[in-house]
Amino acid sequence: MRINYSEATSILIILQTLWWGLNSQCEEPIESSKLDLSVTYDLPHFVSDTPVQKLLEFNGTVYVGAVNKLYALSKDLKKIHEYNTGPVHEGHDCSAPDPCSGCKNKPLNKNNTNMALLMETFYDLELFSCGSVGNGVCHRYLLEDGPLDAEISCMYSKKNKDSSYGCPDCLAGPSGTQILNVMSSGVVRFFVANSEVLDSTVPRLHHTISVRKMRETQDGFEFFSKQSYMDLAPGLRGNYPLHYVYSFQSGPYIYFLTVQREGGSSNAFHTRIVRMCSSDPEILRYVEMPFECIYSERRRKKRSAQVVFNVLQAAHVAKVGYDFQQEMGLKEGEDVLFAAFARSKPDSPEPTASSAVCLISITDINNFFRDFMQKGYTRKLSHFPGSEDKNFNQSFAGDSFSCGKHERGYRLEVTSTNPRRDYFHGRFRNVLLTSIAVVPIQNHTVVSLGTAEGRVIQVVVSRFGKTEPHVDFRLDALPVSSEMALLSPQRHDGSLLLVTGNKVSKVPLRGPGCEQLWTCNSCLLAPAFMGCGWCKTSDRCTRAPRCSPSHWIQDTCPLLITTISPSSAPLGGHTNMTICGKNFGFNKKDRFDTKLIDVVVAGAKCKLEKKDSSNNRLVCGLDHVNASSADSVVRVHSGKEQAQKDGFSFVNPVITDIFPEFGPKSGGTVLTITGSFLDSGNMQLVTMGNATCALQSISATMLTCRTPPQPSPSQHKVQLHIDGVIREAPVSYTYNENPHISSVQPKHSFISGGSTVTVNGFYLHSALQPQMVLTAATEGKVFQVTCSHDEDKRNILCITPSLKGLSVQPPVATKMTFVLDGFSTDQYDLLYVEDPKFEEFQKPTVTPRGNKSILEIKVPPVNQEAVKNGEVLRVSNRTCESVTLVGNTLECTVPMELQSAAKELEVEVRDSFILSSTSDHSSPDRSALLVPADSQNIKHELFLILV
């Protein structure tokens, strides 16, 4: 790509401006993430002997169902009482097994996992605990008389043994159970849903979904009729994954949430809402509807990809706070379903670490059921047999589908859905959420989320505000269970009870503490119910009891200036000042308010740039200050707070010299500008005429840049521009013609290198730092050699590098290019030949012939051609004159200036030998002595001593 000069200049100015912009940014503090995720809290907790499955709170007592144990705990999670529920003995060796206690006098071989825990208060104050042993038979604990074991009944009646309805007393299935007990028409109905066992060989004692009541004798359960239960179709039992995740009652309806296949023949999974009438003694009015949670992920080119979160992990139905109620247009006291979904692995109900949270009011759920059923978007149940196959459009048009006595019965599944959107806009797309609880606190609605990594996250939800967590801490190393309970949620000290493995933890609903909020801003902007304030003495967020009252603040934050940039500005210019720090313009209502801020820099008013400023960065402009001040302090006033930092000054930049004062018109020369205060201000720009000199380095006293090209030889002023102020160099810069090379000698070098390559030409003096770039074509190796000028500056001298490290066999063809201050020449050939052998050279002699001195050297045949051409033979750094080869004797004339002036001659066979003479050349008696000079050097050197 070609860029012409004017384009290059414009691009450079833009890049320099961007450079200033990037360097004037304040580093976002690490704590800008708002929460310190490493903070942990020491919370009240209870540790069971075995894993905990179920949790229930009633009248301030916490009931914990664990493997083989049932506990009663106080509000502080102190153990009040425990009761052993297992293990028991079960097996084929029991002749008449008792479902309540297993086989008597047999070794204990079966642990009892707590599958359901529920409270019933209509008949008596009684707790039902249903385990995995005894075919899921429940135990009834009468609580009015004292501790758990004061009065216990096993809910199994032998009268039910031969019931045609299966086993009415077998409530809890081995794969998970959801039980709801509801009082209607003076009778407590138990709605039971059992997840499917994926094993077709297991005996079917448990109905998939059913409604039953307690026997009048209170020693077991009974169905109202054969219409009081439904089971999966026989062909699906044991191979149709169906998991009941959550259940709740709202208004006249009972709801179950399931994860199951999208259809009998489909391998994909989704979530459904199941609705039944709580007043029905039989399953008279039953309907299912898909429940889908989606997130639209923004992609490039304004496209969006819809991500479906298909498998429910946890859910909670709750009332919401006043603010959220108004925002959502809900009626007072209306129930809202909050659901935590995950994306599943392909064709599997197993979740991945990607979640979303969707919510829907129960009113909307019922409206969807009504609308879809009225429009006929229904079909008979595909997985439960016995539902009627009829034209639902005609049969149900205009029906209200309520739970009145005269309402028509139905068992249907809705074929359409109305997807809900992720309420947190993808915030948890890299997290597996496993637990959810929702509580109104004051006018807010607080959602508490548990994760598979054992973290607890609390968020105040708002339809219009940012949904950023105000709590995010590690509760445990184990996943947070979907099983949870609320303890006194209406009280100021209300708590959330969470389960992780064997442990039950008590997490305050208003948050476990304030220490996670590690900036003053985030501390004071935290929800008011958290009771957080900034403690000046400890410089951290705390609650009032942990800080002295005089140092605990809740309205404004102390200012802090960390850095100022630049540290100086040129007099008379316009300089943008960047001040980095914390808590600028803090206002609890508006968060950041520039009206509160006043900035004074070294006594001068600095005008604030509102759009570029924030609570940790202020950008302001200093305009045309023409007098320096002894004041060097930067002061920021924000409300009642003030901060200052020393170290700023107004200065007068000056250029004292430039070097060099000339260079080739092609540009590329490194220009050095010296002076004082050259680095003041924000942006430095050097121009030469109308062109820009590209900055290389800058300090207070020196600036370097690379000269731009010019179309012809010329002179130009060198000017430094700093924030609108211009300073000019005392001398101009001269552009000369580009260097021209007329010859390059020699054309050969020995493989060990060391030959002096002489470059002849014109305007070579324009290049201050000439270089030779040598490329060995066969090896692709590039050598860069720094060259020098000779004494008269007319020639350039470069020493050839050694190629011995390449392990090549000579001859080796190479190419030379000369780079002269950015100007590159054509390529020249250089052939590397084999090094001469030391022992083949004979003693050199100097013989006078008339007024000339002739140097004679016996040359081995392999080196004759290169030596003959004078390409590797030098005498005291001069080319040997009139080189001739007579037989195997090389003769050359010693230059006249050396004959008359030198008392020592240095004769060089480059890369091979140096022969030296240390005597007056006119001495009549001469003899030559060859001496090796340095056996460690890769060059072979000889000294010629003339005596």
Backbone angles phi, psi at 200, to 5 degrees: -75, -10
Q: Mean pLDDT, to the nearest integer, of 260-287? A: 93
**Joined tokens for residue 25:** 């940014």
Domain boundaries, the chain: 560-651, 670-734, 740-833, 845-915+924-932
In whole angstroms, what is the distance from residue 788 CA to residue 790 CA?
A: 7
What are 410's two structure tokens?
A: 């139905």
**What is the mean pLDDT of the segment spanning 845-855?**
77
In the predicted model, is pLDDT for residue 850 greater than 80? Answer: no
Determine the pLDDT at residue 909.
55
Strands 52-58 and 61-66: antiparallel
The residue-averaged pLDDT of 661-676 equals: 92
| CA separation, residue 598 to residues 604, 622, 805 (Å) | 11, 13, 67
Report for 136-150, 288-302, 690-704, 826-840: range of highest mean pLDDT = 690-704
- Tokens standing for 274? 């199941």
Closest by CA to 69, choosing from 57, 78, 81, 59, is 81
Among residues 51, 167, 60, the alpha carbon closest in space to that of 114 is found at 51
Q: What is the DSSP letter of 737?
A: P
Residue 55 pLDDT > 60: yes
Cα separation, 811 vs 20, in Å, equals: 54
Cis amide linkage into residue 351, ω under 30° from 0:
no
**Quick one: residue 877, left, alpha or beta (phi over 0 = left, psi -120 to 50 = alpha)?**
left
Is residue 620 over pLDDT 90?
Answer: yes
Instruction: Give a three-class secondary structure readout of 96-133.
Output: CCECCCECCCCCCCECCCEEEEEEECCCCCEEEEEECC
> CA angle, 185 as apex, 179 and 189 as ends, to 5°?
15
CA 5 and chain centroid, separation: 41
- For range 786-810, the mean pLDDT: 87
**Average pLDDT value for residue range 760-784:** 83
The reply to whether CATH 2.40.50.100 applies to domain 740-833 is: no
pLDDT in tens, 290-302: 999 999 876 555 5
CB atoms within 10 A of CB 555: 12
DSSP code for 792 = T
* Sequence-separated (6 or more) residues with CB below 8 Å from residue 468: 34, 459
**Which residue shows structure tokens 């690490």?**
30
Average pLDDT of span 848-858: 77
Give DSSP secondary structure letters for 887-927. Answer: TTEEEEEPPHHHHHH-S-EEEEETTTEEEEE-S-TT-S---
Alpha-helical segments (H) within 613-696: none
Q: Is the pLDDT of residue 937 over 50?
A: no
CATH architecture of the domain formed by 670-734: Sandwich (2.60)
Q: What are phi and psi of 161, to 5 degrees?
A: -60, -40
The overall longest dimension of the chain from CA atoms, in Å, is 148
Quote the CA–CA distance of 880 and 369 in Å, as a whole number: 108
Two domains, one topology: 670-734 and 740-833: yes
pLDDT at 944: 33
Burial of residue 859 (number of CB atoms within 10 Å: 0-12, 13-18, 19+): buried
Residue 870 sits at φ, ψ, to 5 deg, of: 70, 20
What separation, in Å, do the N-terminal and C-terminal C-alpha atoms of the chain show?
67
Q: Which of 30-34, 180-184, 198-202 has the highest mean pLDDT?
A: 180-184
Per-residue pLDDT for 21 more than 80? no
What pLDDT is recorded for position 935?
A: 27
Q: In what order do the strands lie in the sheet with 913-917?
A: 878-879, 873-875, 905-909, 913-917
**Contact assessment for residue 819 and residue 773, using Cβ atoms and an 8 Å cutoff:** yes
Task: With a cut of 70, say whether residue 78 has pLDDT above it.
Answer: yes
Q: What angle do CA 613, 617, 623 make, to 5 degrees?
A: 65
Predicted confidence (pLDDT) per residue in 94-142, tens digit: 766 678 877 878 888 899 999 999 999 998 999 999 999 999 999 999 9
Cα distance between residue 304 and residue 298, in whole Å = 4
**Phi-psi region for residue 149, left (φ > 0), alpha (ψ -120 to 50) or beta?**
alpha
- Coil, helix or strand for 373? helix
Q: In what order do the strands lie in the sheet with 540-543?
A: 540-543, 532-535, 552-553
The three-class DSSP label of residue 797 is: strand
What confidence category does residue 912 fall into, taking pLDDT thresholds of 50, 70 and 90?
A: very low
Report the run of H or E that residue 20 belongs to, with start and end: helix 5-23
What pLDDT does residue 362 have? 97
As a whole number, the mean pLDDT across the chain is: 85
For the chain, percent of residues with pLDDT exceeding 70: 84
Instruction: Provide the token pair at 496.
Output: 């959330």
Strand 649-651 versus strand 568-570 pairing type: parallel
Write the burial class of residue 481 (CB in 10 Å: 0-12 exposed, 13-18 middle, 19+ buried).
Answer: buried
Q: Is the per-residue pLDDT at 201 higher than 80?
A: no
For 721-754, the pLDDT digits (tens) are 999 999 999 999 999 888 888 999 999 998 888 8
Smallest CA-to-CA distance from 767 within 665, 883, 916 is with 665
For residue 480, CA distances in Å to 474, 632, 681 come to: 10, 57, 56
Task: Give 462 or 284, the one with higher predicted confidence.
Answer: 284
Cα 888–Cα 890–Cα 895 angle in degrees, nearest 5: 175
Determine the Cα angle at 609 with ends 603 and 611, to 5°: 160
Six token digits for residue 858 = 């016996």
Give me the CATH code for the 560-651 domain, please. 2.60.40.10
Q: Tell me which DSSP letter residue 42 carries.
A: -
Other Cβ atoms within 10 Å of 830 Cβ, number: 22
Q: Residue 930: pLDDT above 60? A: no
DSSP string across 638-677: ETTEEEEEE--EEE--EEEEEE-SEEETT---EEEEEEES
Confidence at residue 927, expressed as pLDDT on a 0 to 100 scale: 29
Both tokens of residue 146?
Answer: 């004292």
pLDDT for 479? 98
Backbone torsions φ then ψ of 199, nearest 5 degrees: -155, 110
Question: What does the pLDDT read at residue 462?
Answer: 85
* Residue position matching structure tokens 């476990």: 512
Alpha carbon 124 to its chain's center: 56
CB 320 within 8 A of CB 440: yes
Q: Is the pLDDT of residue 28 over 70?
A: no
Q: Which residue has the tokens 């797309």?
A: 429
